[in-house]
Structure 1
Amino acid sequence: MISIYMIFTALVQTALAKESMECDLSEPTGAPNCFGALAESLFFHLPTNMKKLILRRKGASTILNIANMTVIISEEYTSRSTYFPNGTFKLDNARKTDSGDYQLEPFGSDGRLLNKTNMHLEIQAPVSKPAVTQMCLTPEQMNISCSSEGDGVKLILSLDGLLLMQTGGHSQSLSRSTVDTLSLAGSTAKQHKPIVSNVAISLHGQLTGNLMCNVRNNVSREETVIRLTSCDGSISLSSHVTVAVIASGATLLLLLALFLGIKHLNNKTSPITVSEDNAEDEIVYSDVRVMKHTRTTIPESITMNIC
Structure 2
Amino acid sequence: MTSVIGLLLMLITVTDGVVTHCDGRQNGAQCYGALGGTVSLQLMDDFSGIHRYQVKAKNVTVLSGGKKQQPVIMRKDRSSFLPSNGTFWIHNLSRNDSGEYRLQTFDSNGKLTENRTLQLLVQAPVSSVSLVSECLSQGEMKESCSSEGGDSPQYRWTLNGKSLTEAELLSGNKQTNIITLKQHVSGRLVCSSWNHVSSASNATNICTCGFIYINCTFNGTKISKWVFQENNTLCVESTTEAQSIMVHTDPSVLRCSLMFLFSVVSFVGIGVYFKWKKIKYEKAEQFAARNRRKFSEDFSENEQTL
TM-score range, shorter chain: 0.5 to 0.7
**Superposition pairs for residues 1-307 of structure 1, below 5 Å?**
11-12=4-5, 14=8, 19-25=18-24, 27=25, 29-47=26-44, 48=47, 49-58=49-58, 60-67=59-66, 68-74=68-74, 77-86=75-84, 87-138=86-137, 140-149=139-148, 150-160=150-160, 161-164=162-165, 165-167=173-175, 199-232=177-210
Question: Aligned AA for 2:142?
Answer: N
Where relative contact order (Cα < 8 A, 6+ residues apart) is larger, the structure is 1
Q: Is the 8 A contact 1:138 1:205 kept in 2?
A: no
Q: Is the 8 A contact 1:32 1:119 kept in 2?
A: yes
Partner SS, residue 78 of structure 1: coil
Deviation at 1:71, TM superposition (A): 2.0
Q: Is the 8 A contact 2:32 2:121 kept in 1?
A: yes
Q: Deviations over 1:6-34 (max 9, x none)?
A: xx856245379694122333x4x345211
The sequence identity of aligned pairs, in percent, is: 28
Q: Is the 8 A contact 1:139 1:231 kept in 2?
A: no
State which drifts further: 100-109 or 201-210: 201-210
Partner SS, residue 11 of structure 1: helix
TM-score where L is the length of structure 2 = 0.57
Deviation at 1:212, TM superposition (A): 1.0
Deviation at 1:162, TM superposition (A): 3.5
Cα distance in 2, alignment partners of residues 79 and 9 from structure 1: 16
Cα distance in 1, alignment partners of residues 132 and 2 from structure 2: 57
Cα distance in 1, alignment partners of residues 174 and 153 from structure 2: 11
Alignment-derived partner of residue 196 in structure 1? none
Cα distance in 1, alignment partners of residues 100 and 94 from structure 2: 14
Cα distance in 2, alignment partners of residues 146 and 19 from structure 1: 23
Number of residue-to-residue matches in the alignment? 195
Q: 1:44 to 1:162 in 2, by over 3 A?
A: closer
Structure 1: stretches of 5+ with no match in the other structure: 1-7, 173-198, 234-245, 247-288, 293-307
TM-score where L is the length of structure 1 = 0.56
Q: Deviations over 1:162-210 (max 9, x none)?
A: 325233xxxx7xxxxxxxxxxxxxxxxxxxxxxxxxx222223442111
Q: Is the 8 A contact 2:18 2:36 kept in 1?
A: no
Q: 1:98 to 1:138 in 2, by over 3 A?
A: same
Q: Is the 8 A contact 1:125 1:151 kept in 2?
A: yes
Deviation at 1:225, TM superposition (A): 1.6
Q: 1:145 to 1:112 in 2, by over 3 A?
A: same
Question: Aligned AA for 1:89?
Answer: F
Cα distance in 2, alignment partners of residues 82 and 54 from structure 1: 14
Partner SS, residue 230 of structure 1: coil
Cα distance in 2, alignment partners of residues 137 and 24 from structure 1: 48
Q: Is the 8 A contact 1:154 1:166 kept in 2?
A: no
Deviation at 1:122, TM superposition (A): 0.5
Partner SS, residue 152 of structure 2: coil
Structure 2: stretches of 5+ with no match in the other structure: 166-172, 212-229, 231-239, 244-306
Q: Is the 8 A contact 1:10 1:85 kept in 2?
A: no
Question: Aligned AA for 1:162?
Answer: S
Which of the pair has more CA radius of gyration? 2
Cα distance in 2, alignment partners of residues 41 and 32 from structure 1: 18
More helix by share: 2
Aligned-residue Cα RMSD (Å) equals 2.9
